[in-house]
């Protein structure tokens, strides 16, 4: 466990300091998997039969409370599930204390100095401090100023989880808030003596990382994580028992200090001034729900592939992935979905006028982010 404090003074709820450059000059980063990536890859290989290691606890003979349906779990738990947004980061989390303590993944918050938590009532609250984190297990606890007593989720006994147990996940895949999915615990993977993971069949997409996983009694038995390897999409949860240990020994540090200490500094990337277009909802006129799903999934998938290449300095490959994805979307969209087609074509025209691959990649990314923003506003019921 990497449970440690970072140098710096604590800040109260009324203000925080940050030496980060302004957002329009800061290269946008998507969260990368920290050291846990290697451990998740090992678990994924185990799931594919490439290594050994699986375990679980014997069934309990004690009487258990009656099982709940996924709909009942969602109705009770959704008010305690939150969205966590930052510069280039989108994830989920859930309240573990009514005074504003929120559990999420480490990779959702690492290196980001300005994080906002969106509660179920759509109110936004800045993250004030990181109370505890465990980089090796991809867990973190952050705090917001609670405007009132907030609903919270109870943690179950993840040691009692067995393969075949039902599991329910609530998160925000691709920014689609409060999405509920259900499945089974496929396996309990012992990755190494210090880490066990829950492999689950309930789908997890980008944006759901950090969300809760529930047993049939509505107790949180894991924190959602996801990894793709060897062409397989394998979904994992970090057992809730690891989270309980963090709750016992909080060690607060200001978010600005945590971000500075955990920021990626492997390569200095070119400064870029963003020019994300702001579309009115009318741009989506004529687009079906299927069209919107094609747009959201294709753009997010392209960003997931292209962003790491960009961060490695391969600007040309990133640009060509974005450009190819835009052509693919235009081909797959319905004939009446003209606004997004025009927006994508305009992004390509803007990129073609530039002679720098990094700037071309950002021109396409601006086009993507403009469309993702308007789709999110439509899903959230915005009027304009």
CA distance 254 to 297: 34
Q: How many helices (H) does the chain have, and how many strands (E)? A: 9, 14
Instruction: Output phi, psi for 177, to 5 deg.
Output: -65, 145
CA distance 79 to 85: 17
Q: Are 155 and 244 in contact (CB under 8 A)?
A: yes
What does the block give as tokens for 108? 């959702």
Nearest to 95 by CA among 46, 142, 37: 142
What does the block give as tokens for 110? 């690492």
Q: Which residues are within 8 A (CB) of 110 and not within 5 positions of it... i.e. 6 or more apart?
A: 31, 34, 135, 259, 262, 263
Q: Which residues are within 8 A (CB) of 341 and not within 5 positions of it... i.e. 6 or more apart?
A: 329, 330, 333
Nearest to 189 by CA among 199, 175, 202, 178: 199
Active site residues: 107, 138, 209
3-state secondary structure of 153: coil
Residue 86 gets the label, from left (phi > 0), alpha (psi -120 to 50) or beta, of beta
Cα of first residue to Cα of last residue in the chain, in angstroms, is 47
Alpha carbon distances (Å) from 10 to 15, 96, 133: 10, 21, 16
């Amino acid at each position: 466990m990497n449970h440690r404090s970072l140098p710096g003074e604590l800040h109260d709820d009324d203000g925080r300091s940050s030496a980060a450059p302004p957002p329009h000059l800061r290269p946008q980063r998507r969260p990368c998997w920290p050291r846990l990536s290697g451990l998740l890859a090992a678990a994924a290989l185990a799931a594919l039969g490439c290594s050994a290691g699986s375990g679980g606890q014997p069934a309990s003979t004690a009487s258990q409370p009656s099982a709940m349906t996924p709909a009942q779990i969602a109705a009770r738990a959704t008010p305690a599930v939150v969205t966590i947004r930052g510069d280039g980061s989108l994830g989920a989390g859930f309240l573990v204390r009514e005074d504003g303590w929120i559990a999420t993944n480490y990779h959702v918050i690492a290196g980001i100095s300005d994080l906002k938590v969106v509660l179920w009532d759509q109110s936004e609250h800045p993250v004030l401090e990181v109370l505890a984190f465990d980089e090796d297990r991809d867990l973190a606890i952050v705090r917001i100023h609670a405007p009132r007593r907030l609903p919270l989720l109870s943690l179950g006994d993840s040691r009692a989880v067995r393969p075949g147990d039902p599991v329910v996940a609530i998160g925000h895949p691709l920014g689609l808030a409060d999405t509920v999915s259900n499945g089974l615990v496929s396996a309990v993977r012992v990755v190494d003596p210090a880490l066990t993971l829950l492999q689950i069949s309930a789908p997890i997409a980008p944006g759901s990382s950090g969300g809760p996983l529930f047993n049939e009694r509505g107790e949180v038995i894991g924190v959602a994580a996801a990894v793709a390897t060897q062409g397989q999409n394998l979904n994992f949860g970090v057992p809730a028992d690891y989270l309980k240990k963090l709750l016992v020994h909080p060690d607060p540090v200001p978010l600005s200090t945590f971000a500075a200490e955990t920021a990626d500094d492997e390569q200095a990337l070119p400064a870029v001034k963003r020019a994300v277009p702001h579309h009115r909802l009318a741009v989506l006129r004529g687009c079906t729900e299927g069209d919107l799903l094609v747009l959201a999934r294709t753009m997010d998938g392209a960003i997931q592939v292209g962003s790491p290449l960009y961060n490695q300095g391969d600007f040309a490959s990133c640009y060509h992935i974005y450009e190819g994805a835009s052509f693919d979307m235009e081909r797959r969209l319905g004939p009446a979905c003209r606004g997004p087609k025009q927006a994508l074509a305009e992004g390509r025209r803007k990129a073609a006028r530039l002679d720098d691959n990094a700037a071309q990649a950002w021109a396409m990314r601006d086009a993507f982010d403009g469309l993702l923003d308007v789709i999110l506003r439509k899903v959230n019921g915005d009027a304009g």
